[in-house]
Amino acid sequence: MTAEREAALLAEVPKQLFIGGHWVDAASGATLDVDDPATGRVIATIADAGVDDGARALDAAVAAQESWAATPPRVRGEILRGAFDLLQERKEDAALLMTVEMGKPLAEARGEVAYGGEFLRWFSEEAVRITGRYGSNPEGTGRMIVTQRPVGPAFLITPWNFPLAMATRKLAPAIAAGCTSVIKPAALTPLTTLFLVRLLEEAGLPAGVVNVITTTASGPVSGAIIADPRLRKLSFTGSTPVGVRLLKQAADNVLKTSMELGGNAPFVVFDDADLDKAVEGALQAKFRNIGQACTAANRFIVHEAVADEFGRRLAERVKAFRIGRGTEEGVTIGPLIDDKAVKKVGSLVSDAVDRGAILLAGGSAVQGEGSFFEPTVLDGVRAGSDILREEIFGPVVSIIRFTDEADAIAQANATEYGLVGYVYTQDLARGQRLIDALDTGMMGLNTGVVSNAAAPFGGVKQSGLGREGGAEGIHEYLETKYVLTPDPFA
Ligand code: NAP
């Protein structure tokens, strides 16, 4: 039954580019294959856009910009709300599609549909709350008017790890603000975006407001779009090295940019923490999405008095995880995205063990079909190990110890990243001190998950620029215009 459902769903998903309201092949006729990471098998063959297709997609976005900006906010909001409702009707299909193309267990894919869908609903509500100000200037000689207007055509680039939520987190505020866009999902997981955009089309989104290109040539295709002076906004979610390259390209046309980049989250456990809750939070912060989340806890910084016990309890829970294809009942750990990811995680674990870390659970790639890595717990990871510096992006816990609060803070902040930090303590004053002390854009205080459509998501330092979601998210797609007019009574 599941196999039949999967086949029917994969047959239904659009396989073409979406440009100016039409589903079209790449001009060259080229195609790309999408694999299931749990089996390595091809599940769909879709259009592979070239530079010309990217240019046509931007043409369509530019052509639709003026009329979309003039479309009443209520109408824009109701189209988003319609798409939210359609996604709820198709939520099981959306979840299954994500599991099949990306690998996360079905229960987590359902969670992402709920989370990702909320951006459609949230920004349907924000569309009608774009406000300005009107008032006297301090001298009393004039009236100052401040308004917000859409920045213009946007280019949205999303990663493979949260195929739905990363798309809705950008598309929904762009649509709400009155911006048209071209969206480019990762070539590894393009199907969910194609499915989502079909729902937006069904919800009544006019032609050209959203255009989709899928490509194996992301560098050249994106480079040409970013270099086009008609583009006004670039929003990127992905790795820091690619983000840095795109920022440099965006500088030439002084684009408004949003950058949601990599992380290296500290997970700090004080000796006064509720250890049961800390273990529960650690499992969520580390193993959600098989560790492939920018918000994944990367370094577990644990007080020396409780580190042994924390590691023991965590390892016990991790050994009970079930590895398998995410569609199977009871599976808690799916595959990594590809074999390259398995090799990278394996080399980080080997480096840590070679330098003296102790393996409490897992530690190896799983032999056989698919790209699986055992859920792993490493204790006593030595300073200088690669795993403490690099984003692991896999199911590996690395535990280091601290002696006092100042030491914990220093270790937590010893990274060029600053996306999120997690802190477990029952001491309220200490928790408040840590809010100020952690150099991160977000913090989970006694919780292992922070994401919410109503919250401003984003990082500091090399984790990025700007915020997505919350009241802040729509401002990434708006620019401020100020007008002065003489005081009518002067
Ligand atoms: P990535 O390699 O940087 O790719 C991200 C996106 O950029 C993909 O669509 C990719 O397309 C595209 N891309 C790659 N090279 C490009 C280039 N030269 N020009 C234009 N586009 C290019 O990152 P990833 O491996 O997909 O995603 C994992 C990373 O994303 C991690 O670092 C993670 O922390 C970060 N992330 C951050 C957030 C956040 O909100 N801060 C959220 C999720 C993920 P192709 O892959 O098709 O080339």
pLDDT band at 1 (very low <50, low <70, confident <90, very high): low
Mean pLDDT of 376-386: 98
Mean pLDDT of 297-305: 98
Rounded Cα distance between 203 and 85, Å, is 9
Nearest C-alpha neighbor of 449 from the set 240, 279, 296:
296
Are the C-beta atoms of residues 455 and 169 closer than 8 Å to each other? no
Nearest C-alpha neighbor of 162 from the set 100, 86, 102, 122:
102
Phi, psi of 468 (to 5 degrees): -115, 140
Are the C-beta atoms of residues 297 and 266 closer than 8 Å to each other? yes
pLDDT on residue 490: 79
DSSP secondary structure, 424-484, as one string = E-S-HHHHHHHHHHS-SSEEEES-S----TTS-B--SGGGEES-BSTTTGGGGGEEEEEEE
Nearest C-alpha neighbor of 87 from the set 211, 9, 180, 195:
195
Question: pLDDT tens digits, residue range 425-482?
Answer: 999 999 999 999 999 999 999 999 999 999 999 999 999 999 999 999 999 999 999 9
Exposed / middle / buried, residue 100 (Cβ in 10 Å: 0-12, 13-18, 19+) = buried
> For residue 208, how far is its CA from the centre of ligand 1 (angstroms)?
25
Question: pLDDT tens digits, residue range 116-167?
Answer: 999 999 999 999 999 999 999 999 999 999 999 999 999 999 999 999 999 9
Mean pLDDT of 272-293: 98
> For residue 197, how far is its CA from the centre of ligand 1 (angstroms)?
20
Cα angle: 167, vertex 119, 280; to 5 degrees: 95
For the chain, domains (ranges, CATH) are 2-261+464-481 (3.40.605.10), 265-453 (3.40.309.10)
**Most informative mutation of 33, 157, 390 for ligand 1 (most atoms within 8 A of CB):** 157
Are the C-beta atoms of residues 453 and 469 closer than 8 Å to each other? yes
Question: pLDDT tens digits, residue range 328-352?
Answer: 989 999 999 999 999 999 999 999 9
Mean pLDDT of 260-269: 98
Chain Cα centroid distance, residue 301: 25
pLDDT on residue 451: 96
Mean pLDDT of 204-215: 98
**Most informative mutation of 115, 161, 189, 337 for ligand 1 (most atoms within 8 A of CB):** 161
> For residue 230, how far is its CA from the centre of ligand 1 (angstroms)?
24
Question: pLDDT tens digits, residue range 230-245?
Answer: 999 999 999 999 999 9
pLDDT band at 489 (very low <50, low <70, confident <90, very high): confident
Amino acid identity, position 308 = D
With tokens 């198709």, the residue in question is: 90
**Mean of pLDDT over the chain:** 97
Are the C-beta atoms of residues 181 and 63 closer than 8 Å to each other? no
